[in-house]
Every structure is written in C-alpha cells, then in structure tokens.
Structure 1
Amino acid sequence: MSTSFASPAAAPVGALPDAVTDLRPPPPGLADPGGSRGTRVLIASDTYPPDVNGAAYFTARLARGLVERGACVHVVCPSAEGPPRVVERDGVVEHRLRSVPSLAHESVRLALPPGVRGHLERLLDRLRPDAVHIQNHFVIGRILAPAARRRGVPVVATNHFMPENLFDYLRVPAPLRPHVARLAWWDLREVLSGVEHVTTPTPAAARLLRDQGFGRAVEAVSCGIDLARFRPFGGGAAERRRLRARLGVPDRRTLVFVGRLDEEKRTDELIRAVALTPDTQLVLAGHGSHRGRLEELAREEGVADRVLFLGFVAHADLPDVYRCADVFAIAGVAELQSIATLEAMASGLPVVAADAMALPHLVEEGRNGYLFPPGRPKEIAARVSDVLADEGRRARMGAHSRAMAERHRLEDSLERFEHIYLEAALGALSAAGRGRP
C-alpha cells in the first residue's frame, strides 16, 4: 500500500517535536475497544515518517487514529536523524532507535541490530502491551515478534511487502530477480509463521501471500481513507483556476499522479501516454530516484511543457492537488492497495489504472474509470481521452469513485484492528490459562 509524504509521496505529517517525553505508562489492563482505559498497543515498523512510502504513511495514520479512539499507542521505529530518542507526537509515543543510512535508499534509515534486541526486550517488560503490531519483517519486527511471544504478548502482523518494490533500490540485476524474490518470500514466511494474526490491505494481497506458500489465514483489512479530508471539488471553473494558479498548475485538462517517482511506479508510461493525448497535461506530485530520468524523457517526447513536477507537496496542500485534476492515473504493477488511488477516488476523480495486482479492486470498468494492460502507453492515452471527452460522464465516474471510496472508511479499519488486538489478547490469556507458552 505507494508513497512528499501526505500520501505515499507527499509531505510529512509534521515535524518531530524537540521535547523528550517522560515515558511512564499507565497501569496495565486490557479494556474493550473504545473503553475508558483503552488497549495498549506497541506498533513496530522499520519505516515511519518522515520516510516516504505507503507503509510509513499507513503506520502513522493507524497509530494516531487508535489514539483518537482511546488507545495507548507506542511506536518503535528507526531514528530519523541517527541518535536514539523518545518523543511524543499527537498522543503517540515514538521510541526512535539508533539508526544508520540504508544503502538501498537515500531517505530511509535502518535501526542498528546491535543493541536493538535488549532495547526491545526492556521496552516490552516496561510497557506490558496488550498486543504488538509489526508492519515489516526486516529488522525491528523480526526481533520484536519472538521477544513478545516469549512474554505471552500476542503479535499481529500486517504485510506491505512485495520484492518488486525493493529491486530498484537494491540494484538487483534482472536475471537474478526471480531468485531474489523466492528467497525474500521464504524469509517473510519464516518471520510471520509464529504470529497470531496476519493482515494485508486487499484480497488480492492476501491471495498473493497464499500463492507464495504462506499457509496461514490472512485477513484483508483496508488501509482506509479519511473521507472528510479528501472530498470532491465543490467550486466552479473560476475557483478551480484560482486553485490551480496557487499550486502553479496551468489551467487546462489535467491528468495527475501522486506517488514516489521510482522504478516500480512506472511513471514513464504516463509521460509517454500524455505525448499521445493532445491538450492534456500530466501533474506529478512526489519525488524519487527517477525524477531526473523522467524529466529527460519528457523532453525527448516533446512534452516538457505539459509535464509538471510538483516535487514535495505540503501535507495541507495534498487534497488540493487532487481537486485541481480531471483524472487520476497510476501505472504501477506492485500495488498491494494504493492509498493514493483511494485518495483520488475520495476526491471524486475518475481512475485510469494498470490492470495489475490490487488496482483492479479499485476500478469498476466504465463506471468509475478504466483499466489498461501494463506497459501500453497507447492504451493509457486512449482511456484518458475517453474519460476527458465527455464532461458529464467524467462527473458521473467521479461520483462513483467517491461512492466506492466510502467502502474504505478509515474509522472502519481502525475499529477492525481494535477488535483484532482484543481477540489476540484474549486468545493469549486463554492459552496462558491452559499453561501454554
């Protein structure tokens, strides 16, 4: 599920405060979801804001959403600067572990394995969480999950991982990618085999895990979308012109993509499609390692004047990026859900998406948009042109996108995770009562 951070590719939710928090947890005790005490959850992730990707974005929204519903939430993740510290932001206590730059991506830091184990064990002993929720299986989750289970704390895992999303970062040669993928899937199965409950954002993502030999039950729980923040544009033509002018977007037919400008997003196909779509511009919100190549491609295709790179987008401005567009397009083939597509749908945009992985779950052909075969810019251009040709049909498609997005309310996802934690905690208590470790 991606991501400039406000989506998997826009601005950070907010800067970390300078103050260090006194971290004395309230008395332990399991409460019903929404109860006065709330469930205490320790969420672990190898990536967290200001990192720019869907897993980081989802984890931050989950943590803050649970706090707003009365839970006591701690997050353990790498430090954004290097030195360790403990801070509180929006009610979420962040335990930032000592980190070093990763060799895979300039904006991602990794927790240093030496010392992590002892730190996590002390954290578990002090917090005594009702449940642990790991978001990744790389470093922190790999160490935390067995440590929690040794203490009788149930572990929930959400999978955001596909090997394809790491190939470019790790510079894996094409001939080796199938072998690296098999090894990566084996490693994920090993780490997640001992957890109590596994979720992933969509049925397609759950099916992918099963296809890769994961024998456990996997529940699809949507990442969810804030329907109040992302909503359709309500103004007229003059207001849209003002909105576009504020963002530096020319007032003409607009195709938008929000996300990282990296290899697996295949944004080059959108640029080639715009070259085949007269009187239409492409707005790209986000940054990534391929931006320079994409700028060169736009020049080669003769559309440098019709491809606008917004780069980093402030969190407060992201909804307006969608509202200044006519159509949203996404060409990636490794999307486990695509939060950006959900944001576009909630904003009332028709969607033109690759017929790959989980994206077909977000497109009802001819009703809220169209699918296209991956790697076919001519097909993208034809579908975009079809949407743009009829303003009335475009409005109907946008309204249907909004209706589909309403099936992915963030509140529903938060409620489901609360119940998953409760069920896992009660199961752990029952097992302890029977004398099982």
Structure 2
Amino acid sequence: MKILIASDLHWPTINGVASFSRNLAQGLAAKGHEVVVIAPSQTGRGYEEYDKNHVVKRTMALPFPFYQNFRISVTPQREVKKIIEDFDPDVIHIQSMLGIGRAALMTGKKHNIPVVATNHAMPENLIENMRLLAPFARPINYILKNYGARFHSNADYLTSPTQSAINLYKDDMKDVSIPVEAVSNGIDLSRFSPGEVSSELRKKYGLPSEKTPIITYLGRLDSEKHLPVMLHAARRVFDEVDGHVLIVGHGNEAEYLKELSKQLGIEKKVTFAGRVSDEDVTKLQKVGSVFCMPSPAELQCIACLEAMASGSPIVVVKAGAVHELCDEGKNGFVCETDNDADMAEKIVAILKDKKLQESMSKRSIEIAKTHDIQHTLARFEAIYQQLIDQYGA
C-alpha cells in the first residue's frame, strides 16, 4: 500500500503523538509499504528528509510559543495538496486536527482517498500551557471538543489509543456515524526489556548504584504533566526510604522544577537528564524501581508502556486513560489525582516490599506484551485495506 501519514507533531518533538506517528511510519515501511509522512519543518522552510526507511516531507512552520521546540504549520494547504497529489496514496492517516491534519483531510476527501483519523487530543493539555486563557478554560474546552467531533466525523474511520479515551468524548461524538475503535499506540518490544544497566551509564547521568531504588519519569516537562506533585511525593518518600528520582525530557517547566527540588531540599536526590538519545531512552527505562505518571491528561502513555516492558511497576493517576495500564495491586497502583501524599504512599509500598516489586515487574511485562506495535500495525493494515476495498467497490 501507499500510505500517507499527516501529523502536526512528529519526531524530533518529544511527545506521545510524535512518537506514535514515527513508530507507525517506520513499522509500516518495514513491512514493505511505501510511506510518506507530512510534518512541520524544524527550520522554518519546507524540505524533504529520509528517516531510516521512509520519506518525511516538512512543510513551512513557525515556532509555537506555548510549547518548547514545537513548531506549527499555519497555512500548509498548498504544500499538503501538492504532496498528496504527487504521491497519490491509497490511504491517508491523520494524527491531528491542526493545519497539516486538516489540510490532509480536506485534500483526501476532494480526491476520493480514504482517510483514517486517530484522536490523540485532550483540549485540557493546550489550555494548561496557555495560562492567560485559564479563566476561559470551560468554554474553550467545549468549543475544541465540539470542533473535534465535527472534524473527525469527516474521516472514514476514527481510532483512539484506549477505550477510556473514546469514553471521554462519548457525548461529543454521539452524532458521529463513522466506525470508532480503540487501537493501542503500541511499542517496539524489541527495544524494551528488563536488564542490567552499566556503571558507565549511571555515571553519565549521575545516578546512584543499583542498591538505591529509582523513581522514574520520562516525557515533556510542561504544566499539564503535574510534575510538582511527583516531586512533593518524592520528598515524602525520602522520609521513609532511601531513593532517587530520574526525570528524562525537557519542556517549559524544566527550570521551575529544578528550583522546586531545591526548595524541597531534595535536589541531590533528583537527576534532570534533559533530552537524551533514543538509545539512552532504552537504557534508562531499565533503571526504574517504579515509573510514575502524575499527569491526568494522558490518552494512553507510550513512556509508561516502555517502562512496563522494561520491568517497572507503575504508579499512575485515576484521571485520563493511563489507569487502563494498571492492574491495581498487580503491576502497580492508581492514586488520587494531584494528591502527593497518596502518590508517596503507593510508591513507598512498592519500594519497601521487594517481593511485591518483583511480582509487579513480571505483571508489567505481561501487560506490555499485549501492546506490541506489531499488533497495532496489523490492525491498521486491516483498517486501511477495508477502506480501500470499500472505495474501490
């Protein structure tokens, strides 16, 4: 098949959508499909590049002021139209409802090309990073959800990473007549598995020896991730057990979080690794004694799945959809949102009980195996073929 993936968030941006769109493109190309990705330029001007086994067409883009290292294509219609007409794909898969996603949807409909849409969006994420708009959060969320429902109803098939993600929009999507299905983002299990971490890696990132338990987080350091809750929880944890925190990623709150760790008196027990290579992500996911996700705005959480595949128990919040990854008491715990005391209690329960930690590690690996990206790729291949057959009938 000739498959075009359109995404307003794509590698090298650190973001779940960006990770998924790249993993999807690489996975489909590895299976023999011809894949082209349309994504925002990282320099401003449009250009073309190769990412291992597929082509990425970059459209003109401007810096987006509310997210670090995020660029947005404001008016990409002409570029997107030309790319699609030149490539002539069998199917289009859009990952967003912003400029590129919208232009790809419109062009696909005009040229009678089937369009699959995956909804990764939670309007609350955007609003939390635009604090001047906070007083208007409720009406803005309503408008964005309403727009999302109308936008996605123009596609031929809609997916979202989890059933909880679909349920969040059930009321808004009640008038959408197209098929709607939960399809996991999936992860590459060949990259993530339990194992020892070298002393060189620990030294590189200033991590303690394997005798000291490590609480890990990997992702953007932006306000909707609620990382201050995790740091406050860590301070409580260190009152009861020895430990260390590893935070991997970058974002608008990086400096604030470093300052907060100083204010809490735990700066010597917190490592801010910043942005790291894909190779080091794989290695660092192995060091965690427990992976923590304080964000209430996850529609799945690829980083959490990677940690689970690497053998980490998890502590996640009830809100959003990330709790679907937790088999309560078996591979981790679900805690109350924005409750650092509850989060700390759950983390301590894991760190104090070696047998529990080991059994949770095994269960995390079992659950992660059900999210093998090969299953995801196979399901999308089937959806694509179904739509292609319908259009050709």
Q: Could you say which residue in structure 1 is the equivalent of 2:190?
A: 228
Shift of 1:304: 1.2
Deviations 1:148-192 (A, max 9, x none): 112110110001100111113333433210111001111112211
Q: 205-214 vs 146-155, which deviates more?
A: 205-214
Q: Could you say which residue in structure 2 is the equivalent of 1:95?
A: 57
Q: Could you say which residue in structure 2 is the equivalent of 1:45?
A: 7
Q: Could you say which residue in structure 1 is the equivalent of 2:205?
A: 247
Kindly indicate whether residue 109 of structure 2 is the aligned counterpart of residue 149 of structure 1.
yes
**Could you tell me how far apart the structure 2 residues matched to 1:88 and 1:242 are?**
32
Kindly indicate whether residue 285 of structure 2 is the aligned counterpart of residue 322 of structure 1.
yes
Q: Could you say which residue in structure 2 is the equivalent of 1:27?
A: none
Q: 96-105 vs 131-140, which deviates more?
A: 96-105
Kindly indicate whether residue 231 of structure 2 is the aligned counterpart of residue 257 of structure 1.
no
Shift of 1:125: 2.4
**What is the letter of the counterpart of residue 314 of structure 1?**
S
**Could you tell me how far apart the structure 2 residues matched to 1:411 and 1:287 are?**
29
**1:256-335 correspondence to structure 2 within 5 Å:** 256-278=216-238, 279-335=242-298
Shift of 1:249: 0.5
Q: Could you say which residue in structure 1 is the equivalent of 2:88?
A: 128
**What is the letter of the counterpart of residue 172 of structure 2?**
Q
Kindly indicate whether residue 342 of structure 2 is the aligned counterpart of residue 405 of structure 1.
no
Shift of 1:242: 5.4
Q: Could you say which residue in structure 2 is the equivalent of 1:21?
A: none
**For the aligned residues, what is the CA RMSD?**
1.5
**What is the letter of the counterpart of residue 48 of structure 2?**
V
**1:38-117 correspondence to structure 2 within 5 Å:** 39-113=1-75, 116-117=76-77
Please state whether the residue corresponding to 1:272 is helix, strand or coil. helix
Please state whether the residue corresponding to 1:282 is helix, strand or coil. strand
Please state whether the residue corresponding to 1:257 is helix, strand or coil. strand
Question: Greater RCO between the two (CA within 8 Å, min separation 6)?
Answer: 1
Structure 1 residues 124, 320: closer, same or farther in 2, change over 3 A?
Answer: closer
**1:184-199 correspondence to structure 2 within 5 Å:** 184-199=144-159
**Could you tell me how far apart the structure 2 residues matched to 1:66 and 1:169 are?**
33
**Could you tell me how far apart the structure 1 residues matched to 2:172 and 2:153 are?**
13
Q: Does the Cα contact within 8 Å between 1:240 and 1:324 map onto a contact in 2?
A: no
**What is the letter of the counterpart of residue 51 of structure 1?**
T
Gaps of 5+ in 1: 1-38, 431-437
- Structure 1 residue runs of 4 or more that deviate by more than 6 Å after TM superposition: none
Deviations 1:51-79 (A, max 9, x none): 12111110001001000001000111111
Q: Could you say which residue in structure 1 is the equivalent of 2:306?
A: 343
Question: Residue 323 of structure 2 is aligned with which of 360, 371, 375?
Answer: 360
**Could you tell me how far apart the structure 2 residues matched to 1:221 and 1:365 are?**
22
Structure 1 residues 413, 110: closer, same or farther in 2, change over 3 A?
Answer: same
**Could you tell me how far apart the structure 1 residues matched to 2:300 and 2:95 are?**
15
Please state whether the residue corresponding to 2:5 is helix, strand or coil. strand
**What is the letter of the counterpart of residue 302 of structure 1?**
G
Q: Does the Cα contact within 8 Å between 1:255 and 1:327 map onto a contact in 2?
A: yes
Please state whether the residue corresponding to 1:210 is helix, strand or coil. coil
Q: Does the Cα contact within 8 Å between 1:243 and 1:324 map onto a contact in 2?
A: no
**1:165-184 correspondence to structure 2 within 5 Å:** 165-184=125-144
**Could you tell me how far apart the structure 2 residues matched to 1:240 and 1:91 are?**
31
Please state whether the residue corresponding to 1:160 is helix, strand or coil. coil
**Could you tell me how far apart the structure 1 residues matched to 2:128 and 2:318 are?**
21
Counting matched residue pairs gives: 386
Q: 401-410 vs 303-312, which deviates more?
A: 303-312
Q: Does the Cα contact within 8 Å between 2:14 and 2:219 map onto a contact in 1?
A: no
- Tell me the percent identity: 33
Which protein is bigger by CA-based radius of gyration?
Answer: 1
**Could you tell me how far apart the structure 2 residues matched to 1:211 and 1:267 are?**
30
Q: Does the Cα contact within 8 Å between 1:350 and 1:368 map onto a contact in 2?
A: yes
**Could you tell me how far apart the structure 2 residues matched to 1:418 and 1:67 are?**
12
**Could you tell me how far apart the structure 2 residues matched to 1:294 and 1:106 are?**
15
**Could you tell me how far apart the structure 1 residues matched to 2:42 and 2:119 are?**
22
**What is the letter of the counterpart of residue 250 of structure 1?**
P
Shift of 1:120: 2.4
Gaps of 5+ in 2: none
Shift of 1:256: 0.6
